[in-house]
Amino acid sequence: AATKRKRGAPAPRPKKRAKTAPVAPQSDGKPDPEGAGPEEYSIPPPVSQGKWKNKERVLIFSSRGINFRTRHLMQDLRTLMPHSKADTKMDRKDQLFVINEVCEMKNCNKCIFFEAKKKQDLYMWLSNTPQGPSAKFLVQNVHTLAELKMTGNCLRGSRPLLSFDPTFDKEPHYALLKELFIQVFSTPQYHPKSQPFVDHVFTFTVTDERIWFRNYQIIEEDASLVEIGPRFVLNLIKIFQGSFGGPTLYENPHYRSPNMHRRLLRLSVAAKFREKQQVKEVQMIKKKGSKVLMEEDPTDVVFETPAEEKPVEVQLEKPESKPIVKDKKKPRKIQRKKQKKLFRTEV
């Protein structure tokens, strides 16, 4: 029987029916009475049923005073690394060991810290907090994801392959950096924010005593590579035993600070300018100086050869005059000319 409702109260909603699986028909077209009971749809299991055991978390943040390119690079690394965390910028007056406490509060055991100096030099710290080790790099030639020449694309949160140069297995300090790169940049397996796909490669190449970082997309059709970005060059400065400090394990002998590099450039320009000024002064001295006339030219005697001395003879008599020889053909020539003139006048 229909229940009465109070005046002004909303009408009761009808109850939803449970979804039932379709009944498989028999061969004659009628439904099977045995399997006519209602069946609920089963929810499919998740793609990865494994446990997230390697709980690596990376804190990526910077100090104050960075430029727009560094900010975009930091944002690109956060996009490519689903196991990363962000934090506010750190004041430049704070000491670096404070970062260990920040990582502990954020529950992170790895850290990438960008340090800006003079608004033009960028340094990057890679650290295993809080025990260490840590490495300090000078970052050069930064290109971000937003540039047009980076035409590749990859799935957000996918796991990358890490490709290392054979040099990383030959020297001990490169072997330490390789292990540090693996722990920082590799996405842990079964991470909640990651995808179970591998479609891009992080490459670390050693050239000219520097580490070149590149990110490539793997195309399924022909397994070719297309660069995604970002790209940058890491110039190693020092490797420390502790996190953001401690005893120095390795110091790069080929490293030259940006201040020294700029100073050498200024000195080279100043040396060129000084050389030009000296040349001008020498030319002015030459123009103002009086010309010195040499009394005797030493080169005059070069072609003189000693000759035999002849006795001096004095001629007392007048030399005989030569007889004048007349030209016998001359009168004939005169006559011919006269005849020609007469002939012309007559004609």
| Across 108-135, average pLDDT | 93
- At residue 109 the predicted structure's pLDDT band, cuts being 50, 70 and 90, is very high
Tell me if 193 sits within 8 A of 229, measured CB to CB: no
Q: In the predicted model, what is the mean pLDDT of the chain? A: 84
**Which is more confidently placed, 23 or 156?**
156
**Between β-strands 110-117 and 58-62, what pairing exists: parallel, antiparallel or unpaired?**
parallel
- At residue 1 the predicted structure's pLDDT band, cuts being 50, 70 and 90, is very low
What span, in angstroms and rounded, lies between the C-alpha atoms of 257 and 230?
24
Sign of CA dihedral 70, 72, 77, 82: positive
CA distances from 225 to 27, 142, 152, 218, 332 (A): 55, 20, 8, 5, 108
- At residue 200 the predicted structure's pLDDT band, cuts being 50, 70 and 90, is very high
pLDDT tens column, 206-260: 999 999 999 999 988 788 899 998 999 999 999 999 999 999 999 999 999 999 9
Closest CA to 220 of 146, 148, 154: 154
Q: Reduced to 3 states, what is the DSSP secondary structure of residue 289?
A: coil
Provide the pLDDT for residue 237.
96
Whether 100 is in a domain gets the answer yes
| Across 41-57, average pLDDT | 72
At residue 188, what is the residue type? P
**Quick check: 308 pLDDT over 70?**
yes
Provide the pLDDT for residue 21.
47
**Quick check: 83 pLDDT over 70?**
yes
Whether 94 is in a domain gets the answer yes
**Quick check: 105 pLDDT over 60?**
yes
| Across 92-97, average pLDDT | 86
Whether 210 is in a domain gets the answer yes
Whether 294 is in a domain gets the answer no
Provide the pLDDT for residue 187.
92
Q: How many distinct structural domains can be found in the chain?
A: 1
What span, in angstroms and rounded, lies between the C-alpha atoms of 4 and 245?
79
Nearby residues of 232 by Cβ (< 8 Å), 6 or more positions away = 73, 139, 140, 141, 142, 143, 213
Give the angle 50-54-59 at the CA atoms, nearest 5°.
130
Whether 45 is in a domain gets the answer no
What span, in angstroms and rounded, lies between the C-alpha atoms of 221 and 304?
91
What span, in angstroms and rounded, lies between the C-alpha atoms of 60 and 260?
29
| Full domain range(s) for residue 157 | 58-260
What span, in angstroms and rounded, lies between the C-alpha atoms of 184 and 83?
9
- At residue 318 the predicted structure's pLDDT band, cuts being 50, 70 and 90, is confident
CA distances from 249 to 230, 291, 329 (A): 29, 69, 118
Provide the pLDDT for residue 345.
78
Residue 112 burial by Cβ neighbours in a 10 Å radius (0-12, 13-18, 19+): buried
What span, in angstroms and rounded, lies between the C-alpha atoms of 232 and 201?
15
Whether 278 is in a domain gets the answer no
pLDDT tens column, 21-46: 454 445 445 545 454 445 566 766 55
Domain CATH for 206: 3.40.50.10480
Nearby residues of 155 by Cβ (< 8 Å), 6 or more positions away = 195, 197, 199
Least confident of 48-62, 140-154, 257-271, 322-336: 322-336
Whether 305 is in a domain gets the answer no
Q: Determine how many CB atoms are found less than 10 A away from the CB of residue 174.
A: 19
% of the chain exceeding 90 in pLDDT: 52
Provide the pLDDT for residue 27.
47
Provide the pLDDT for residue 26.
52
Whether 304 is in a domain gets the answer no
| Across 177-183, average pLDDT | 95
